[in-house]
A and B are shown apart, each in its own frame.
Chain A
Amino acid sequence: MSLVLTLASRNLFHDRLRFVATMVGIVFSVVLVMIQMGLFLGFGRMVTTMIDHASADFWILPKGAKCFEDPSLLDVKLRDRVATMEGVSWAVPLVIGFSDWRLESGEVTPVFIVSADLRDGSLQPFNVVDGNVQALTQGANVAVDRSYFDRLGVSSVGSTAEIRGRKVRVVAITDGIRSFATTPYVFVDLKNARNYTGTPRDRASSVLVRLKDDADREKVLSAIRAEAGDAEVLTSDDFRSRSRSFWLFGTGAGAALFAGALLGVIVGTVIVAQTLYSSTKDHLSEFATLRAMGSSNAYIYGVIIYQALINAVVGFAIAAGIGFIVVQMTAKSALPIVITPWLMAALFALTVVMCVASGIGAIIRVVRIDPATVFMR
Chain B
Amino acid sequence: MNDYVVEAKSVEKTLGRGAGEVQALRGVDLALRRGELTLLMGPSGSGKTTLLLVLGCMLTPSSGSVTVCGTPTAGADKEALARIRREHVGFVFQSYHLFPTLTAAQNVQLALDIRGEHGRRAAEKSREALAMVGLEPKANSLPGGLSGGEQQRVAIARALVANPSVVLADEPTGALDGKNGQTIMRILADTAHERERAVLVVTHDPRVVPYADRIVEIEDGLIVQERPGETDRPRMPKTVPFRM
Q: B188 near A: Cβ within 8 Å?
A: no
Q: B85 near A: Cβ within 8 Å?
A: yes
Of the candidate stretches B30-38, B51-59, B205-213, the one touching chain A is B51-59
A294 contacts B86, C-beta separation under 8 Å: yes
Which of A286, A291, A371, A377 gathers the greatest number of chain B CB atoms within 10 Å?
Answer: A371
A10 contacts B101, C-beta separation under 8 Å: yes
Q: Residue of A at shortest CB range from B120?
A: A1
Number of A residues whose C-beta is below 8 Å from B? 26
Indicate which residue in B95, B99, B110, B111 contacts A377 across the interface (CB closer than 8 Å): B95
A285-304 contact mask (Cβ, 8 Å, vs B): 1 or 0: 11001111111110100000
Q: B173 near A: Cβ within 8 Å?
A: no
Q: Given the known inter-chain contacts A3-B110, A375-B52, please indicate yes or no for A289 contacting B97, CB distance below 8 A.
A: yes
A1-25 contact mask (Cβ, 8 Å, vs B): 1 or 0: 1111011001100100000000000
Indicate which residue in A3, A7, A296 contacts B79 across the interface (CB closer than 8 Å): A296
B99 contacts A2, C-beta separation under 8 Å: no
B58 contacts A299, C-beta separation under 8 Å: no
Which of A6, A291, A294 gathers the greatest number of chain B CB atoms within 10 Å?
Answer: A294
B159-172 contact mask (Cβ, 8 Å, vs A): 1 or 0: 00000000000100
B109 contacts A3, C-beta separation under 8 Å: yes
Q: Give, as a whole number of angstroms, the nearest-CB distance from A19 to chain B.
A: 13
Q: A372 near B: Cβ within 8 Å?
A: yes
Indicate which residue in B99, B101, B170 contacts A375 across the interface (CB closer than 8 Å): B170
A330-351 contact mask (Cβ, 8 Å, vs B): 1 or 0: 0000000000000000000000
CB neighbours (8 Å) of A10 from chain B are 99, 101-102
CB neighbours (8 Å) of A292 from chain B are 56, 58, 85, 91, 93, 97
Q: Residue of A at shortest CB range from B118?
A: A2
CB neighbours (8 Å) of A285 from chain B are 97
CB neighbours (8 Å) of B91 from chain A are 292-293, 374
Q: Given the known inter-chain contacts A1-B118, A372-B59, please indicate yes or no for A11 contacting B101, CB distance below 8 A.
A: yes
Bound: A181/B49 CA distance, A: 76
CB neighbours (8 Å) of B56 from chain A are 292
Q: Which residues of B contact A (CB under 8 A)?
A: 49, 52-53, 56, 58-59, 78-79, 82-87, 89, 91, 93-95, 97, 99-102, 106, 109-111, 113-115, 118-119, 158, 170
Q: 6 A-B Cβ contacts within 8 A?
A: A7-B99, A289-B93, A290-B110, A292-B97, A295-B114, A377-B95
